[in-house]
Amino acid sequence: MGVTVEVHQVYKYPFEQVVASFLRKYPNPMDKNVIAVNTVEEKRDVSTGIIYRKRIAICRNVVPEILRKVSILKIPNIQLEEESWLNPQKRSMAIQSHCLTWTQYASMKEESVFQESMENPNWTEFIQRGRISITGAGFLNCILETFASTFLRQGAQKGIRIMEMLLKEQCGAPSAE
């Protein structure tokens, strides 16, 4: 089965500032669930100028305590892998993330894009689609997917609030033009 969550946001800041804030977003006191984000690979394609990054995020396990009675859910942290492709010339960055924990029971994938807004070149459009599907947990599949859907939606909204706060702190008021 599975659940999908989609988010669309326009940041009224230039692309370069939005990407720089995204790359510095975590860890952050506004979201204590993200413990660390480590860049494990970074390289630039000299022919295209595209910068590839691979990062690993360590996050607190947010599965409710009642569900952690199931042995596979009794872990303190989960790991996520994020790959990004930054194209400075086209002013776009594509991101793909997936969960490295519980892969035999769950699939969590996110695809995101930051790109110059068609409405205003000084603004940046953000589009994200996340999908979670749970298998192998029997009757808990539906319960866990419902929880995951709520968590994804809330997490996406929290991520947008953090980005807005960082951008305002680092860059000042948003661009009206």
Query: Which strands form 124-134's sheet, in the order they lie side by side?
Result: 3-11, 124-134, 106-116, 92-99, 77-87, 51-60, 34-44
Q: What angle do CA 46, 51, 56 make, to 5 degrees?
A: 140
- Report yes or no on 177 lying in a domain: no
CATH number at residue 60: 3.30.530.20
In a domain, 96, yes or no: yes
Question: Alpha-carbon distance 156 to 159, whole Å?
Answer: 5
Closest CA to 146 of 31, 3, 27, 50: 3
30-53 tens-digit pLDDT: 889 899 999 999 999 999 999 999
**Residue 176 domain-assigned (yes or no):** no
Residue 158 lies in a domain: yes
Comparing 15-29, 54-68, 88-102, 112-126, the range with the smallest average pLDDT is: 54-68
Q: Write down the pLDDT at residue 1.
A: 66
In a domain, 100, yes or no: yes
Choice between 83 and 61, residue whose per-residue pLDDT is larger: 83
Distance CA 72, CA 51 (A): 36
Residue at 40 is within a domain:
yes
Share of the chain above pLDDT 90, in %: 56
pLDDT at 143: 76
User: In this predicted model, what pLDDT tens digit does every residue of 134-166 receive, in sequence order?
Assistant: 877 677 777 777 777 887 888 889 999 999 999
Q: Is residue 29 part of a domain?
A: yes
Number of folded domains that form the chain: 1
Q: Tell me, what's the pLDDT at 31? A: 87
Residue range(s) defining the domain that contains residue 33: 2-171
Nearest Cα neighbor of 18 from 92, 103, 106, 68 is 92
Sign of CA pseudo-dihedral 60, 66, 67, 71:
positive
| Integer CA distances (angstroms), 27 to 30, 73, 154, in order | 9, 23, 17
* Amino acid 11: pLDDT: 97
For residue 152, is it within any domain? Answer: yes
